[in-house]
Amino acid sequence: MGNLGIYFIFLIPPMILGFIIQHRLKTTVAKQMQVPIANGMTGEQVARMILDHNGLSGVPVNQAQGGPLSDHYDPRHRTVNLSPGVHDGNAVASVAIAAHEVGHAIQHEKAYGPFRVRSTMFPAVAFASQTWMLLLLAGVFLQIAGLAQVAIVLFAVVVLFQLVTLPVEFDASKRAKVQLHSLGLVGGGEEQGVSKVLSAAAMTYVAAALAALSQLAYFALMFLGNRD
């Protein structure tokens, strides 16, 4: 089998899977954005309530500068940042996403193991993400095998980071569901909508990790498999 065939086997199926899962996430979020939460609270209000309940009154809830799905927790500044539709929205999806990001703040406060590992890895991963492809291309065009091998090692660090991200994201969603339920912020039917949103979001991280692993396997096979 030629290199092109190997490329298709390793890289195309994960890419297609990623597109499908990303489409599912957007569709699920859009649908649940049309379902108003019974208590009328916005994502910002829900986030604030959960933070305060967990002794995190000093963690601000800001409106993120990006568009939809730009929601994130910033561990450097300890801020919860919600996209406009989540921050000001009072839909099931708004509440689910806001609670998930607060879940990361709770992980930070409780020194959750995988969260600490992920945060520790971030500087190295930022460097690896910016340099591995340049080194790989340089190694190929200059025919320097050592550069390509270093590039693959750096990419392996990026892949490891994505794998560590999986338990962090799943745990944040678990904490979000517990908080929403224990504080009575969602009802029975609303909990199902919350689960759909969080499950769809979690699958995007799974798809990204599988794609990265498959890409790493391809590069390893191409550049490390034959040293003769």
Assess whether 109 carries a catalytic annotation: no
81-110 burial string, b = 16+ CB within 10 Å, else e? bbbebbbebbbbbbbbbbbbbbbbbbbbee
Q: Which of 101, 109, 169, 190 is catalytic?
A: 101
**Axis crossing angle, helix 43-53 with helix 92-109, rounded to the nearest 10:** 30
**Which residues are marked as active site?**
101
